[in-house]
Amino acid sequence: MSGIPQPAFYIFKCQQSAPPGMPKPSCVSQSNPESQEIFQHLGQTLMRKGIIATAIPIQTGCLSRCQQGPVMLIEPGHTMYVNLTKEKIDRIVDEHIIGGKVVQEYVIADEFWGEPIEPSSIA
């Protein structure tokens, strides 16, 4: 007997919002009104396509790539998407989540996304 199926994807969307006047940029900001709608758009898109049970959107705090915001991380795959818009979300859902192919042009540049640091190497 098999158990309840696992989700295929967890989509971590940074929802950090810095107060006005804060020098550091944040993924949700008043100066970028669209940034305030991206998470809701993501959830609605997954729902509309009927896949929200297997591609779960999760709101997170800062993912440490604030200069490239709005950002979201897709697991599995450790794929960091940057400078998001609603239009980019649509393509990512269609091509990556449904189609299984990473949208390379929206992925963070290598210079900002090196290899992971293994905790065992610094503990």
Asked if 11 interacts with ligand FES (CB under 6 A), we say: no
Amino acid at 45: T
The contact mask relative to ligand FES for 19-38 (x = CB under 6 A, - = no) is -------xx-----------
What's the min distance (Å) between Cβ of 24 and ligand FES?
8
Query: For residue 11, which phi and psi values (nearest 5 degrees)?
Result: -115, 110
Angle at 100 between CA 49 and CA 51, to 5 degrees: 20
Q: Classify 18 as helix, strand or coil.
A: coil
Asked if 71 interacts with ligand FES (CB under 6 A), we say: yes
Angle at 101 between CA 100 and CA 104, to 5 degrees: 150
Asked if 85 interacts with ligand FES (CB under 6 A), we say: no
Asked if 97 interacts with ligand FES (CB under 6 A), we say: no
**Nearest residue to 97 via CA among 49, 34, 41, 39:** 49
Q: Could you tell me which stretch among 47-55, 56-64, 90-98, 107-115 binds ligand FES (CB under 6 A)?
A: 56-64
What's the min distance (Å) between Cβ of 114 and ligand FES?
16
Asked if 16 interacts with ligand FES (CB under 6 A), we say: yes
